[in-house]
């Protein structure tokens, strides 16, 4: 898979195909699938939009926790992108366990066609306890994932180096995490080609 082929895949058609708010209502597992997970406001929807060159494909919200279902997008009939609800959104009455484990974790555990998960970390905040919990769940389910910094445009070069080093260290502490991390900005279109190449390599031919 060349970079050119990856660019072509992401420049082609990408369509919303399914929204699921319950784990018994997921789309057929016909194509390989990659999922974007992370805290509310981590930049999941923005990254999906930036990768596919669509401004409003995945809803970008200023209100944390607004995306309450799993949104599925078909990319060129070759791979499905899944934009998941954020797991950091917890009103006092609704614990992380409820929000995350009922839908997200059931999805992550049971999805046979799930080829890769991207765990998005807001570069300004770094890895938080809920991120580590999510990573541990993925470790236990043996679902392979890549830790991915978002919003790196918000950091100075020095801060960026430090954030990347810290996240690489974090990756080293998890059994199912890729040792290599990604570093991205949806706003400034940084680091997107590496992500596209990684996803394109998983796409069906
Ligand atoms: N500066 C900057 N802001 C971003 C970037 N990506 C997302 N945001 C902002 O972060 C907020 C949350 O983004 P969103 O994609 O809705 O996050 P989600 O809840 O994880 O889907 C929005 O206000 C976005 O405009 C980025 O690369 N750089
Ligand atoms: Mg979102």
Which of 36, 38, 41, 159 is the pocket-test mutation for ligand 1 (most atoms within 8 Å of CB)? 41
For ligand 1, atom 28: residue with the closest CA: 151
- The bound ligand whose nearest atom lies closest to the alpha carbon of 67 is 2
Q: What is the pLDDT of residue 164?
A: 98
Pocket around ligand 1 at a 6 A CB cut-off: 38, 40-46, 60-62, 67, 86, 150-151, 153-154, 185-187
CATH of domain 3-200: 3.40.50.300
Q: Which residue of 41, 42, 43 sits with most ligand 1 atoms within 8 Å of its CB, as the best mutation to test the pocket? A: 43
Q: Whose CA is nearest to atom 14 of ligand 1?
A: 43
pLDDT at 110: 87
Closest atom of ligand 1 relative to the 150 alpha carbon: 27
Q: Which atom of ligand 1 is nearest to the CA of 38?
A: 20
- Structure tokens, 121: 């970390």
CA nearest ligand 1 atom 22, residue: 62
**Nearest-ligand number for the alpha carbon of 63:** 1
What's the chain look like in SS3? CCHHHHHHHHHCCEEEEEEECCCCCCCCCCCCEEEEEECCCCCHHHHHHHHHCCCCCCCCCCCCCCCCCEEEEEECCCEEEEECCCCCCCCCCCCHHHHHHHHHHHHHHHCCCEEEEEEEEECCCCCCHHHHHHHHHHHHHCCCEEEEEECHHHCCHHHHHHHHHHHHHHHHCCCCECCCCEECECCCCECHHHHHHHHHCCCCC
Identify the segments of the chain with pLDDT beneath 50. Answer: 65, 92-93
Q: Which residues are paired to 14 by β-bridges?
A: 75
Compute, in angstroms, the gap from residue 1 CA to the centroid of ligand 1.
Answer: 29
Confidence at residue 115, expressed as pLDDT on a 0 to 100 scale = 96
Residue 67: predicted pLDDT: 55
Ligand closest to Cα of 41 equals 1
State the maximum Cα–Cα separation within the chain, in Å, rounded to a whole number: 48
């Amino acid at each position: 898979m060349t970079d050119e082929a990856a660019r072509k895949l992401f420049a082609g058609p990408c369509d919303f195909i399914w929204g699921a708010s319950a784990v018994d209502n997921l789309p057929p597992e016909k194509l390989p699938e990659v999922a974007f997970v992370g805290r509310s406001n981590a930049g999941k929807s923005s990254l999906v939009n930036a990768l596919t060159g669509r401004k409003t494909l995945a809803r970008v919200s200023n209100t944390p926790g607004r995306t309450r279902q799993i949104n599925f997008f078909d990319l060129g009939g070759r791979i499905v992108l899944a934009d998941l609800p954020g797991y950091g959104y917890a009103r006092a009455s609704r614990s992380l366990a409820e929000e995350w484990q009922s839908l997200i974790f059931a999805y992550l555990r049971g999805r046979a066609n799930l080829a890769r998960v991207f765990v998005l970390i807001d570069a300004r905040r770094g890895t938080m306890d809920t991120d580590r919990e999510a990573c541990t769940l993925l470790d236990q389910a043996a679902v392979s994932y890549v830790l991915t910094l978002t919003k790196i445009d918000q950091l100075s070069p020095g801060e960026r180096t430090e954030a990347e080093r810290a996240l690489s260290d974090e990756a080293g502490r998890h059994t199912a995490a890729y040792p290599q991390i990604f570093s991205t900005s949806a706003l400034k279109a940084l680091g997107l080609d590496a992500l596209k190449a990684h996803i394109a390599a998983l796409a069906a031919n």
